[in-house]
Structure 1
């Protein structure tokens, strides 16, 4: 159907309209418009639809008056708007219009009266598609809501952070401001957050006077270098007083030259107080760790620190340094006779004496046990040290009353000073120790000064110690065998194994020359074990040749006697018919009263080893001590045997020891038998075994077989003393 009067042209709407309406003008005007345009006559019949409307909303040919328009939600709304437009009103409203593609589009509809002259002949409508705009608006509103919610969430987080968060900036002219401050920042700084935003200076007015410049310097440095601000500083809070704050802020330079810091501030007062308390506690512990709890004077650790400080200070090192080493004499006897409480009382008294004897610039310490040291003030000499020793002797001479009993004590002193031998304090301490050993060797209660001669002796000892270490590596220690003669039959009863050092010079060095140095480097036990193993190999070799040695006696050091290794070694030994005996020095019997020592003695006896007490009669061991060990043999000290014909006292002591042995059921061996006259006399006294150069000097292992095969009983025809090594 063609619209009357339209001519059926290209743009003519395909539906009829009232004869008085000419739509050709509408087609010319609106056909190419981008918005949908249409027209209705007064009856509501659609008479025009441009291409945009056709494309967007489909063909309206079938729309008739009275239909509910797509441009209104309800029939009533459409009737109302239609009537208003026909009465000359222009109406604009929003609807969702259905489209030819299905889903509706958000549209803005305008209805206006269509006039011909003064007459309203219909309604002119224009629909603008607002779908994209509305979608953008919805997305924008959704994004804005997301931003709002995120900001609110961040604000809640910032307000609940136990500190303050800020954005602070300074422009190139030096003007500063807080562009953001969390609600907690103001109160943290002793002001309000609003005050910070209005006046940034209010954030700095409470800085501690001693720290304010540090804060400003940190900001200025960060402004120049863009390095983060990381610092702790103090403020004087108007309500809380002194507070510690930690600041961390990262800078960013903007194109206009501003530097903006994004940061936070936390109150670390409690943390700093705890740190101060810990530091104070550490210092207290440090002080306590430098004090000997018993005597109240400094301890070894403090002494080491003083020595290190002296060595590290060139000014002090340039001055004379003098050190006194002190060791109490017979202190063990005080503990043993009066008890450890008395020993502690003596040590406390010594501490008092030391404090009283030294000067204000002197230092004293207890090194441990009954050992003490005095380090004199810089510049003091040996003479000053001797004066202190003299004063100490006077103070120590006064006996200490402990629980109604007098405790008397004395000490030995060693002095070393750089005014005699220039040296650093560390070495002087060792030199003073060497002087102390010299004093003790002179008989206790003595004073010795480290001199050139003592220095040379110490150098020799150190050299000897190094040589002994090398000798052990080169296996230069070898056994010699000292015959022991049966006093009744005159036959060989056994041998004492004696250590010799086969020196590279060709000499056989005696123990008296190397044992002291070996004790210093703690290798006597190693030498004991080597002698034991090598001697047993000699025994096994001789047994293979049909020669049986009745008994071998070995000297055992204190360290080996207390080492479980000695039990393992003994259990592995294979001696055939040879009896093994261990000789313990009389001093060991006296001094070693530990459970370990007693257990080892019992285990040795159970393994078939005989126990002998060597050098008996030297005056150290008591009869009670001997009974505790229950030895098989007592060996009389050669210092009693050798002079027995020239000293009635020695002769009587020898006879008394033999009688003691007979009473206790203990065999007696006499050492130091130099002549047959000695041998016969000792035999007649009842001595069981004789040992000395009257029968032979110590024999090397290679000569042992020859000695045994050519030996004749002593008392059946006296064999002359063997000469040789």
Structure 2
């Protein structure tokens, strides 16, 4: 029996030793608390966790708990005592060396051999796990932030903006005002100052937009230099307040190196109830387009009239594309006459659009539309090809110079110049009239080269609107066009205004000094023609001699005048 008991004691000792090693390896500390005596026993492992060499019966647990965790942790323990239930808690402690650790504690309620209620429990250090979880959560939060926000400005990105708008739409009777914002001339800012300054400008605008919204509002960068803010109301006063804040804040210059820069924005505004949110973006985009088209640096509020006008414009733009492809754009010709003999010595080709439902449209109805839709180059080509075809098909045009308007940006296109050389253009018969002469003060090397190439083809160069402020004297001296046209606004008052006559006379003298012919346009009466001829103008153009007319009507007129000349010649011979 003794042998058996000894063997059992040995086995028990081995088991206890193994349990102790296992606990030591696990880092788990054991404690027992006698509720009746308010005494706590800690093992050596738990003392090591807390960093205290306390005596076995000292109650020091609450002295070590972090002040922020003390009340809730103690409340959990007292509740377990009150309900005689198991205890579980997590809390921080502050060790004597000041190090903060996170602990997890578990205990079970029992009554010991003396009948005292007790808890026996275990605690272990979970600091590494807690900090790892916090780091993972921080990483997840950063990932969420990166997924939902623009990396440069910190504003919501397009995806989050769409989600925010959808959230507003779920609310019954919700009303939202959307401000659609673009930075004016942002590409020029990037090109002039560099992308670092461009990024600074975007952040500058972002801060202004954030300050403009109140609680419940949303600010987002939709992409590039495009922003949006949502305000959950559509009261006119609130809209005005937001616009005033944005525009006043933008008026403050920002430093860029040793310079200052004032950032301007165009803003489109639209409001809608939740049932119509699907149209909100398109409406604000339309209002933004309207603001840009009317000069930028302004705000436009969407209206039904605006939508109707744009719909008509877009339809007209589509019609223009079709019209160019279908040959609806044709040249009309306005005659030019010699100022002395009043005989036709040239014609100017002017584009006319034979619209299927609106009739014949002058360039004032579609030229700006062609420019905004990238159709000017195609328009130039269509007119030039039609003019060359007309010149080839009519003997009546044989001795007539034809002037064709040319947009200045074509002069910077080497491919177009190459294509121009492939046309069969009779030397001295064709003249290009530059209708955008503002560039004369800053001719690029490419433009200079292309102009010389054009002249080598036997094509003349004319400058329009002399005296309007566009064509500078230095530019004329460098370009040396074959002829210049005096602007109609200077020609019209010469009958009543002595200063106007003097100004026109001075312009004629300047042109003659540079060996340039002078054309006066806007000649309304024969009295104008007589005065202009006396001032030395070479050629006259205006309603006094004819309005723009079709090629067929021009041909008929030229043939009729040729026949009249022959009859006068025959009559002269007969009288001799």
Report if TM-score (shorter chain) is over 0.5: yes
Query: Which residue in 1 is equivalent to 2:385?
Result: 533
**Conserved in 1, the CA contact under 8 Å of 2:396 and 2:555?**
no
Alignment of 1:180-219 (within 5 A): none
1:102-150, CA deviations, whole angstroms, 9 ceiling, x for partnerless residues?
xxxxxxxxxxxxxxxxxxxxxxxxxxxxxxxxxxxxxxxxxxxxxxxxx
* Deviation per residue, 1:144-180 (Å, 9 max, x gap): xxxxxxxxxxxxxxxxxxxxxxxxxxxxxxxxxxxxx
Structural mapping, 1:212-227, within 5 Å = none
| Counterpart check, 1:690 vs 2:540 | yes
Contact 2:158 2:221 in 1 (8 A): no
Aligned counterpart, 1:435: 290
Question: What's the offset of the Cα at 1:498?
Answer: 0.8
1:124-203 alignment runs, 5 A limit: none
Query: Aligned-pair distance for 1:418?
Result: 2.6
Larger radius of gyration: 1
Equivalent residue number for residue 219 of structure 2: 363
CA distance in 1, matches of 2:245, 2:271: 22
The unaligned stretches of length 5 or more in structure 1 are 1-189, 192-237, 243-268, 714-725
The answer to whether the 8 Å contact 1:479/1:534 transfers is yes
- Is 1:417 the counterpart of 2:270 in the alignment? yes
Quick check: 1:589–1:629 contact (8 Å CA) kept in 2?
A: no
Give SS of 1:499's match.
strand
Matched, 1:493 2:345: yes
Which residue pairs with 1:139 in the alignment? none
Q: 1:549-595 CA deviation, whole Å, 9 max, x = no partner?
A: 43222122355444344223321222335522222223552698555
Q: Deviations over 1:49-76 (max 9, x none)?
A: xxxxxxxxxxxxxxxxxxxxxxxxxxxx
Q: Which structure 2 residues correspond to residues 243-392 of structure 1 after superposition, within 5 A?
A: 291=152, 304-305=158-159, 308-309=162-163, 314-315=169-170, 319-325=175-181, 328=184, 340=193, 344=197, 347=201, 351=205, 354-355=208-209, 358-359=212-213, 361-363=217-219, 365=221, 373-380=227-234, 383-392=237-246
Determine if the alignment matches structure 1 residue 573 to structure 2 residue 445.
no
SS of 1:418's partner is strand
Alignment-derived partner of residue 703 in structure 1 = 553
Q: Is the 8 A contact 2:210 2:219 kept in 1?
A: no
Higher helix content, 1 or 2: 2
Q: In 1, distance between residues paired with 2:165 and 2:500? A: 54
Give distance in 2, aligned partners of 1:683 and 1:297: 69
| Pairwise CA RMSD | 4.7
Once the two structures are superposed, the pairs formed by residues 616-631 of structure 1 within 5 Å of their partners are: 616-631=466-481
What is the TM-score normalised by the length of structure 2? 0.61
Query: What SS class does the counterpart of residue 608 from structure 1 fall into?
Result: coil
Are the equivalent residues in 2 in contact too, given 1:417–1:428 (CA < 8 A)?
A: yes
Pair 1:563-2:413 in alignment: yes
1:660 to 510, 513, 530: 510
Is the contact between residue 583 and residue 613 of structure 1 (CA under 8 Å) also seen in structure 2? yes
Question: Closer, same or farther in 2 for the Cα pair 1:585/1:277, shift >3 Å?
Answer: farther
Residue 366 of structure 2: aligned partner: 514
Q: TM-score, normalised by structure 1?
A: 0.50
Q: Distance in 1 between matches of 2:512 and 2:196?
A: 39
**Residue 470, structure 1, aligned to residue 470, structure 2:** no
For residues 640-651 of structure 1, the aligned pairs below 5 Å read 640-645=490-495, 651=501
Contact 1:297-1:351 within 8 A present in 2 as well: no
2: distance between equivalents of 1:350 and 1:644? 54
| 1:596-615 paired onto structure 2 within 5 Å | 596-615=446-465
Instruction: After TM superposition, give the deviation of residue 536 of structure 1 in Å.
Output: 0.6
Query: What's the CA shift string for 1:620-650, capped at 9, x where partnerless?
Result: 4544444454433332332333344456665
Aligned to 1:523: 375
Distance in 1 separating the partners of 2:529 and 2:197:
50
Query: CA–CA distance in 2 between the matches of 1:387 and 1:640?
Result: 47
Deviation at 1:284, TM superposition (A): 6.4
2:11 matched residue in structure 1: none
Q: Alpha carbons of 1:550 and 1:624: their partners in 2 closer, same or farther (altered >3 Å)? A: same
Q: Distance in 1 between matches of 2:304 and 2:396?
A: 57
User: Is the 2:427–2:458 contact (alpha carbons within 8 Å) kept by the matching residues of 1?
Assistant: no
